[in-house]
Amino acid sequence: MFNRLDKIETKFEEITALLSESHVISDQKKYINLAKEHSELLPIVKTYREYKRIVKSIEEDEKIIRESDDLELKEIAKQELEEMQYKKDSTEEQLKYLLLPRDPSDKKNVIMEIRAGTGGDEAGLFAADLYRMYSKYSEKKNWNVEEISVNPGGAGGFKEVVFGVSGKDVYQTLKYESGVHRVQRVPVTEASGRIHTSATTVAVLPEAEELEVNIDTKDLQIDAFRSSGPGGQSVNKTDSAVRITHIPTGIVVTCQDEKSQHKNKAKAMKVLRARLLAKIKSEEEQKIANSRKEQVKSGDRSEKIRTYNYPQSRVTDHRIGLTLYKLDKILEGEIDEIIEQLKIAEKTEKLKTEVLQK
């Protein structure tokens, strides 16, 4: 591991030097690529340098304990040595994690799809609640949210809402949200006050570049139709809505939010590419499922991952057994605590798997 870290540090220093060279600065494409590589190596190098500083401190403390005649200095060195040993172990674990293979999609923007499941109008209302929660969270993270497609449901909810989220490390953060989100509450329409259980599915798809997914135009059936709307001026009087069917897979994407057919088609193609990439990724992961047990089941849309219980103001993430009694804050977009705990759980499992494979 340390030979590899030495090589990474050397490479980092070489890139740092190159970034100040005039011939690199004048070549924008080369400069951007080197700057990106530099930023990816920086966390590893910083942690490795800290590790080496700790090791040096341990060696100095051990030397004082062995050779010094000053009893007070020896006692200070012993106390510091204990602290440094702990830091050494934790930093070494951190280095192991940083060296684990990264999901190439982690840096990507995402397409999120929220669909009402069982529970009728109540499920649709909860889909709207989740959309608001993710919008609020994205706002806190300074991410950009772009609505792509909305299929309204009854009582002001959604049958389906599709939207894009762009920013720094979006997929790396939101990928854990894929799955079934269950809600337990008394519906507004329920006169007897009985608690109902409804479900909504969330899919988080990494955005795909055109080069990543090869789509043959011959495999597409593109239909234009008139957008539906609430009436009045909002109703589109032209066939601007677009439905794209990918014939080989049967995937259908509809977009009607824009007044321009061209814009709707572009948005629909973006969603189609994301769904196709997710399908390819899912098939690949299925082939190596037995060696991927370290995942916190982040991609299964059919698995119940979380329950939101309104009477108890409780949110439980079933994958890691985490329960928080602050439902109101979570629905306001304060979901960082859940996501951080999921990241820690995945990190722990990955490290365990790495040890077992050795």
pLDDT number for residue 281: 78
3-class SS at 163?
strand
The phi, psi pair for 207, rounded to 5°, reads -65, 135
pLDDT number for residue 289: 52
Q: CA–CA separation, 34 vs 19, rounded Å? A: 7
Indicate if 177 and 73 belong to the same structural domain.
no
Instruction: Look at residue 357 and tell me if it is in a domain.
Output: no
pTM comes to 0.71
pLDDT number for residue 231: 40
pLDDT top residue among 144 and 261:
144
* Model confidence at 296: pLDDT above 80: no
pLDDT tens, residue by residue, 29-48 = 899 889 988 988 999 999 99
Instruction: Look at residue 355 and tell me if it is in a domain.
Output: no
Of 64, 98, 132, which marks where a domain is finished?
98
| Mean pLDDT to the nearest integer, 224-238 | 57
Instruction: Look at residue 36 and tell me if it is in a domain.
Output: yes
Of 98, 129, 154, which marks where a domain is finished?
98
* Model confidence at 291: pLDDT above 90: no
CATH number at residue 320: 3.30.70.1660
Compute the mean pLDDT over every residue in the chain, rounded to the nearest whole number.
86
Of 73, 98, 123, which marks where a domain is finished?
98
pLDDT-derived band at 298 (thresholds 50, 70, 90) equals very low
pLDDT tens, residue by residue, 232-261 = 344 455 678 899 999 999 999 988 877 788
Q: CA–CA separation, 254 vs 54, rounded Å? A: 57
| Structural domain harbouring 307 | 110-288+299-348
pLDDT number for residue 156: 84
Q: CA–CA separation, 22 vs 322, rounded Å? A: 52
pLDDT top residue among 172 and 191:
172
| Mean pLDDT to the nearest integer, 349-355 | 70
Indicate if 322 and 232 belong to the same structural domain.
yes
Indicate if 235 and 136 belong to the same structural domain.
yes
pLDDT tens, residue by residue, 101-133 = 777 788 889 999 999 998 888 999 999 999 999
Instruction: Look at residue 294 and tell me if it is in a domain.
Output: no
Q: Report how many domains make up the chain.
A: 2
Indicate if 79 and 140 belong to the same structural domain.
no
Q: CA–CA separation, 302 vs 299, rounded Å? A: 9
pLDDT number for residue 128: 95
Indicate if 45 and 132 belong to the same structural domain.
no
* Model confidence at 290: pLDDT above 70: no
pLDDT number for residue 279: 85
Indicate if 126 and 59 belong to the same structural domain.
no
pLDDT number for residue 187: 85
Give the DSSP H or E segment for 252: strand 251-255
